[in-house]
Chain A
Amino acid sequence: GAGVSQSPRYKVAKRGQDVALRCDPISGHVSLFWYQQALGQGPEFLTYFQNEAQLDKSGLPSDRFFAERPEGSVSTLKIQRTQQEDSAVYLCASSPSSASGRYEQYFGPGTRLTVT
C-alpha cells in the first residue's frame, strides 16, 4: 500500500524566501509528526498533530516555522524568511494511533532543503 509521501523531495531556496513542504500521511493515520534532520545527526522533533489538532509544537525553532493539518490528513510545514541554518532534511511521519508513544512511526522519504 501507499506509504508516507513528501513533496518536493529537494528544494533550493534563496535566503529570505518562504518555502512550503507537503506531507501526505498513510490514509487513516491519526498522528502526524514533523522532524528536522541535520547532516550526520538524528531527527529532531518539530511538531505533532492528532487529527487536525496541533498538540505539541515545542520543537519549532522559531516563529518563522509554522505547520498545519487543516482536515486531519495532509500537512504542510511552512518556513518563512529562510536562513542558512534551516538547511536540513525535513521528515514527516505518521502513526495509526493517538496513543502513539507505543506504536512505530512510518516515515516519509524527506524533503532536503538547501538555503543558499
Chain B
Amino acid sequence: GQQVMQIPQYQHVQEGEDFTTYCNSSTTLSNIQWYKQRPGGHPVFLIQLVKSGEVKKQKRLTFQFGEAKKNSSLHITATQTTDVGTYFCAGPSGANNLFFGTGTRLTVIP
C-alpha cells in the first residue's frame, strides 16, 4: 500500500537555527499538502503544491515538490519558538482519501 514517510521524526533546534523536514512517498502524488499541528491543537493547513519542481514560500517557510512528484520538503529559516509543533505532509490516496505522513515534531529551544 501507499506509504508516506517523513524524516526526521523529531528535531530539536536552537532558536534562530534552520530546520528542514523531508517527505517521501512510495507512489507519485498528484499534489502534496503540508499541515502544522501545535501541541494540544489540531492540524492546520499550510500549503498545497501541485506542479513538478514547484517551490512556494510563506515568510520564513519554503516548500518544495520534487521533480518526480514523489518527495517534498519544508524548510524553515531562523526558527522561532512559535514554529514549535508537528509538521505533516499529506498526499491523495485514491479519489477520496488523504494519506498523512508520519510527521516531524519540531522543538525550538529558546
Do A and B come together as binding partners? no
